[in-house]
Chains A and B, each alone.
Chain A
Amino acid sequence: MTINEISTEDAPAVGDVIMRTRNASVFYGEKQALFDINLDINACSVTSLIGPSGCGKSTFLRCLNRMNDTIENARVTGSYLLRGSDIYSPKLDVVELRARVGMVFQKPNPFPKSIFENVAYGPRIHGIGGNKDELEKIVVNSLTKAGLLDEVKDRMHEPGTSLSGGQQQRLCIARAIAVNPEVILMDEPCSALDPIATARIEELIDELRENYTIIIVTHSMQQAARVSHRTAFFHLGILVEEGETDHIFTNPNDTRTQDYITGRFG
């Protein structure tokens, strides 16, 4: 099966499960970093993964677009489904998968190319947007969705690295959007940004969730409370609790969750 066989015909409805993991485990050499994670991710919603450093939340996030494949001696077991299809199937094209399940990293990492090229790169290698006009449309559209167009429209051919940190992060989001993903993974996307740039990204997340499924790893509890619909709390490689964000932040079921979010964890 190739990724193209995974149905993309019907846009997923809000509340549908778009990604599902069962017994998701990760080993780094002999050491097990993630233990049997069972998690359903709802389409067109924001799910945040929280937990102390080393709890496995980023490891889990990286399983969802096979970023752990690139780490030597990392071994991934369990089942990972995108719309019911196994994303670890040997026949699957990983590059295609990463277009469907895009990623935004902690530090903005624009390519050392122009702003335009940063966004156009993905569509080009994936063969989307055949001619120049179409490509330009995709770039403009992606920059608009990322809330960056007005700030860069007169400097499209300047290097991406000439932008401010917050703008660079929005450029990276535009780059992820350009290949028309279904899911966007964000690994602490605001931790290198000031509060205003952070607020812009959070506003953007709120807009993007209408069309995309967003999974965000964050160290800021307040950010998780502000942006996400559901929150999953990881601790020592275990998924301790997952539920509606409103519930987790007012009356969590597990005392470990309670201790962590109220700042009582050692």
Chain B
Amino acid sequence: MNDHIVKAFSEELASLGQKIATMGGLAERQLSDAVTSIERNDLVLAERTVKADVEIDTAEREIESLTILMIARRQPVASDLREIMVALKIANDLERIGDLAKNIARRAERIIENHPHRAISGFVRMSRAAMQQVNDVLVAYSSRDTEKALAVWKADEDIDELYNSLFRELLTYMMEDPRNIGSCTHLLFGAKNIERVGDHATNIAENVYYLVEGEPLFDDRVRLDNTESSSAEIAN
């Protein structure tokens, strides 16, 4: 797209995109660190991850104030308006991803205490899938690639399915040996957090689609997280 006649506006838009990319990188790192801390029993890394969340919060505030200033100064319309609104929304999703990573890192100690090793691999597999989603959607944003955004949007089903099977797996471990209940419950919350990370990646994908196409992506995807209706009966 052509540059603005007012150069400062183009610079602000470029800077906004840059800030989102940086914030996205931070969220990815946080997520990866939180999962790694559980995978490798690394409590130091877990603690560092909890503390580093403040960086993401700061990044979000910077993006917020830049977007507010841009709206006040430039009265953006059409693609510029979408650019700014979408950046604000993506920043919010990334901040939530950061919070979820922090929450996982907080649980690390309880999970590591007494976890059934078998369960961790399912959690890690699901986490890797979610991290791939986050990475893909950030690439889709920076390259304005709707195809890629749509692929992320569709792939959220896979994460939901991984979550459903992990949920059942954890239930069986808890029934096998009640001593597993504490750590498995924390792991289950962790997995639920990862499932939500996937949802935020999906939100971002929808926003990338809207940014490029100017039309919202109609959400008719079937809800696949069916754990709300599951019970311990599956073990019978």
Contacts and interface: CB of A to CB of B under 8 A. Distances in A.
A251 B80 contact: no
B22 interface: no
A249 interface: yes
Nearest to B81: A250
Contacts of A265: 5
Given A250-B214, A251-B214, A251-B215, A263 B5 contact: yes
Contacts of A259: 2
Instruction: Report which residue of B2, B4, B5, B78 has the largest number of chain A beta carbons within 10 angstroms of its beta carbon.
Output: B78
Interface residues of A, number: 17
A146 B155 CA distance: 59
A262 B214 contact: no
Contacts of B1: 264
A249 B2 contact: no
A221 interface: yes
B25 interface: no
A265 B1 CA distance: 11
Contact of A221 (B3, B77, B82, B215): B77
Given A250-B214, A251-B214, A262 B82 contact: no
A263 B3 CA distance: 9
Contact of B78 (A222, A262, A266): A262
A249 B78 contact: yes
A248 to B, nearest CB: 8
Contacts of B5: 263-266
B227 interface: no
Interface string B1-20: 11111100100000000000
A266 B75 CA distance: 19
Given A251-B214, A251-B215, A262 B75 contact: no
B79 A258 contact: yes
Contacts of B214: 250-251
B64 to A, nearest CB: 22
Nearest to B6: A263
A122 interface: no
B2 A264 contact: yes
Contacts of B122: none
A258 B4 contact: no
Interface string A252-266: 100001110111111
Contact of A249 (B3, B77, B215): B77
Contacts of A225: 77
B1 to A, nearest CB: 7
Given A250-B214, A251-B214, A251-B215, A262 B6 contact: no
A258 B79 CA distance: 7
Given A250-B214, A251-B215, A264 B78 contact: no
Nearest to B9: A263
A44 B205 CA distance: 41
A261 B2 contact: no
A263 B79 CA distance: 11
B76 interface: yes
Interface string B213-228: 0110000000000000
Interface in A112-151: none
Interface in A77-107: none
Nearest to B80: A262
Given A250-B214, A251-B214, A261 B77 contact: yes
A266 B76 CA distance: 18
A257 B214 CA distance: 14
A251 B3 contact: no
A262 B215 contact: no
Nearest to B210: A251
Given A222-B75, A262-B76, A263-B9, A250 B82 contact: yes
27 contacts: A221-B77, A222-B75, A225-B77, A249-B78, A249-B81, A250-B77, A250-B78, A250-B82, A250-B214, A252-B78, A257-B78, A258-B78, A258-B79, A259-B2, A261-B77, A262-B4, A262-B76, A262-B77, A262-B78, A262-B80, A263-B5, A263-B6, A263-B9, A264-B1, A264-B2, A264-B5, A265-B5
Pairs A-B, 5 closest by C-beta atoms: A251-B214, A264-B2, A249-B77, A262-B80, A261-B77
Interface of A: 221-222, 225, 248-252, 257-259, 261-266
Given A248-B78, A265-B5, 20 more contacts: A221-B77, A222-B75, A249-B77, A250-B77, A250-B81, A250-B82, A251-B82, A258-B78, A258-B79, A261-B77, A261-B78, A262-B4, A263-B5, A263-B6, A263-B9, A264-B1, A264-B2, A264-B4, A264-B5, A266-B5
